[in-house]
A and B are shown apart, each in its own frame.
Chain A
């Protein structure tokens, strides 16, 4: 499976600021996704990061709040904009490859605390 890294691994931010999270994969992948895991909760899909085009957002998530870029097949960023304490979560990227079929592999996550 692909090796996935995320930066930063954790951060503490002030409300009203923005944080950009990076997801890097060691090989080209066809699919990249961003998930949010609120404290003590399960994972919720934020969006599908599409290479060369705008991300596809799930209900309840908007581009102005969570802008996503995917400039190539190995890299994506998620920005959490104008943060509030409710944005305190773990943010995870996942990837799927043509070789893995529909299986998704997850990065280690970014732990965000907003004060």
Chain B
């Protein structure tokens, strides 16, 4: 069965500072990996995804993520955070063999200090 762990429940970062959100997954084969963002009162927006190929993927809003098979990780990064990045971030894993169903991590809430 698939599982996803986001070790950090909350992260506070100053505006302009860098951000890294951790995600670890468990799955027998190479999964499909996703990062979504949920702003307050909103639905989920896809930031980026990894299926195969280059392990460093670029997404929207200046985010990137790196797939590390040896560490079963898919950490999300942004070099310089903007106040509008304050939101909840979810890592998710899916697999064609699992009917493309997504399993979500618990989420990381990001607070941005001025």
Give chain A residues whose Cβ lies under 8 Å from the Cβ of B94.
102, 104
Give A91-105 as 1s and 0s: 1 = Cβ < 8 Å from B's Cβ atoms: 010101000011111
With A102-B94, A103-B49, A106-B36 given, is the CB distance from A33 to B44 under 8 Å? no
Chain B, Cβ-Cβ closest to A1: B46
Contact-residue bracket for chain A: 20 to 34
Within 8 A of B (CB), among A47-102: 48, 56, 58, 92, 94, 96, 101-102
Give chain B residues whose Cβ lies under 8 Å from the Cβ of A45.
101-103
Most chain A beta-carbon contacts within 10 A, residue among B90, B95, B102, B103: B102
Cα separation A67 to B100 with both chains bound (whole Å): 21
Query: How many Cβ-Cβ contacts under 8 Å join chain A to chain B?
Result: 53
- Tell me, yes or no, whether B99 is within 8 Å of chain A by CB: yes
Cα separation A22 to B100 with both chains bound (whole Å): 22
Give chain B residues whose Cβ lies under 8 Å from the Cβ of A41.
106
- Tell me, yes or no, whether B25 is within 8 Å of chain A by CB: no
Give chain A residues whose Cβ lies under 8 Å from the Cβ of B70.
none
Evaluate contact between A102 and B32: CB separation under 8 angstroms: yes
Give chain A residues whose Cβ lies under 8 Å from the Cβ of B46.
1, 103-105
